[in-house]
Amino acid sequence: MSSFKALVATKGEIGPNLAFTDFAEADLMEGDVTVRVTHSTVNYKDGLAITGKAPVIRRWPMIPGIDFSGRVETSGHPDFKPGDLVILDGWGTGETHLGAYAQKSRVNGDWLVPLPAGMTPADAMAIGTAGYTAMLCVLALEKHGLKPADGPVVVTGAAGGVGSVAIALLAKAGWHVIASTGRAEEADYLKGLGAAEIIDRNELSNPGKPLAKERWIAGVDAVGSHTLANLLAMTRYGGAVAACGLAQGMDLPASVAPFILRGVSLLGVDSVMCPKPRRLEAWARLASDLDRDKLAAMTSTIPLESVIETGKAIVEGKVRGRVVVEVG
Ligand code: NDP
């Protein structure tokens, strides 16, 4: 394969110009491992890149797509040999390094995680960066010392990718999960994943008080802005919120009151530059803890050609759960 199919973004006046083209292997960027990409996914960040709603792409031309799974073709890295199945999340892929919406990718082998035993490449991208980030949030709450017996946990952006995986993981671990969603029609879906209670996201999305009635001991927030501020204001004494997202906004109009009067902690979660040992821990826990039937229930599958329309839909909040992209 001296050339292969890829979605290429070039700089446009308003947002990127996108076209499926034959991409020459010789034009791939530097790296010691070349991977035959079999699956990718559409995360919120992919939607931002495709629509140009945020400056995710910082090198032109770019192949978008922040994560993939696939099979190693060639390797100069001691940890990988041809035929190995691997996962890549982040490290600037699809931002500054040619990304996942292509049949091949050449990357630094240090960025790759071996596919956990018992997981298929399609499973890995059904989880994707959104699911791996949900796992990082759960790990952050656990490392803070919080347990299901301490009280309920709230999950915002519940019907989205991070939210859906977080609900499944937390429910399996025994937490009483309160799911916050703007899609009341998805109540049965969220209960199927393990949510014990559903609340309307409007309860959290408007400006609130510095401190409010204590409702939960823990939170996973994919939304930011007033929602995160209210989550903190409603967290019980000694609790914590793991914050990973900005679906409502990047701002945080909060006060220090929850921190200094209730000992509440805000735990920041980043998936892109997350060190390798934490990634390996997260993927091992996903392999053992995430119920495959629930993963199947939250996942739909699209061909590579559909990533542009799905990218637009995800930033409009119209995608439920997770989307696997068959790269083919
Ligand atoms: P999704 O679009 O799948 O989920 C986001 C959900 O947020 C939506 O489904 C919706 O849930 C809710 N939502 C959307 N718009 C608004 C709004 N205006 N106000 C309140 N809620 C809203 O995205 P992902 O799950 O892929 O990502 C979620 C967030 O996490 C994104 O901001 C993404 O950038 C971030 N992220 C961060 C990572 C990191 O490394 N820190 C890694 C991965 C993701 P509902 O319909 O249920 O209300």
pTM of the complete model = 0.98
Map tokens 């409502």 to a residue: 248
Residue 219 has pLDDT above 80, yes or no: yes
User: What is the domain partition of the chain in residue ranges?
Assistant: 3-115+298-326, 129-268
Closest residue CA from atom 19 of ligand 1: 248
- Taking the centre of ligand 1 as the mean of its atom positions, its distance from the CA of residue 60, in whole angstroms, is 26
Q: How far is CA 269 from CA 93, 166, 264, 266, 305, in A?
A: 18, 13, 16, 10, 31
- Taking the centre of ligand 1 as the mean of its atom positions, its distance from the CA of residue 233, in whole angstroms, is 20
Where on the phi/psi map is residue 90: left (φ > 0), alpha (ψ -120 to 50), or beta?
A: left
Q: Are 178 and 235 in contact (CB under 8 A)?
A: no
Residue 253 has pLDDT above 80, yes or no: yes
- Taking the centre of ligand 1 as the mean of its atom positions, its distance from the CA of residue 245, in whole angstroms, is 6
CA distance 88 to 108: 10
pLDDT confidence of 1, banded at 50, 70, 90? low
Tens digits of per-residue pLDDT, 158-179?
A: 999 999 999 999 999 999 999 9
Tens digits of per-residue pLDDT, 55-76?
A: 999 999 999 999 999 999 999 9
Residue 14 has pLDDT above 90, yes or no: no
> How many Cα neighbours within 13 Å face the side chain of 224?
11
Please report, rounded to a whole number, the percentage of residues in the chain having pLDDT higher than 70.
100
Decide: 181 in ligand 1 pocket, CB within 6 A: yes
Q: Choose the residue to mutate in 133, 193, 312 for probing ligand 1, maximizing ligand atoms within 8 Å of C-beta.
A: 133
Q: Are 42 and 326 in contact (CB under 8 A)?
A: no
Tens digits of per-residue pLDDT, 261-294?
A: 999 999 999 999 999 999 999 999 999 999 999 9
Third-level CATH fold of 3-115+298-326 = Quinone Oxidoreductase; Chain A, domain 1 (3.90.180)
Q: Which CATH number fits domain 129-268: 2.40.160.20, 3.40.190.10, 3.40.50.300, 3.40.50.720?
A: 3.40.50.720
Decide: 278 in ligand 1 pocket, CB within 6 A: no
Number of helices (H), then strands (E), belonging to the chain: the values are 9, 15
Q: Choose the residue to mutate in 43, 136, 220 for probing ligand 1, maximizing ligand atoms within 8 Å of C-beta.
A: 43
Closest residue CA from atom 30 of ligand 1: 245
Task: Give the pLDDT score at 15.
Answer: 87
Decide: 166 in ligand 1 pocket, CB within 6 A: no
3-class SS of residue 301: strand
Tens digits of per-residue pLDDT, 88-138?
A: 999 999 999 999 999 999 999 999 999 999 999 999 999 999 999 999 999
CA triple 223-129-131, angle to 5 deg: 70
Task: Give the pLDDT score at 69.
Answer: 98
pLDDT confidence of 85, banded at 50, 70, 90? very high
Where on the phi/psi map is residue 28: left (φ > 0), alpha (ψ -120 to 50), or beta?
A: beta
Q: Which residues of 127-143 are buried (b: 16+ CB within 10 A; e: fewer)?
A: bbbbbbbbbbbbbbbee
- Taking the centre of ligand 1 as the mean of its atom positions, its distance from the CA of residue 248, in whole angstroms, is 8
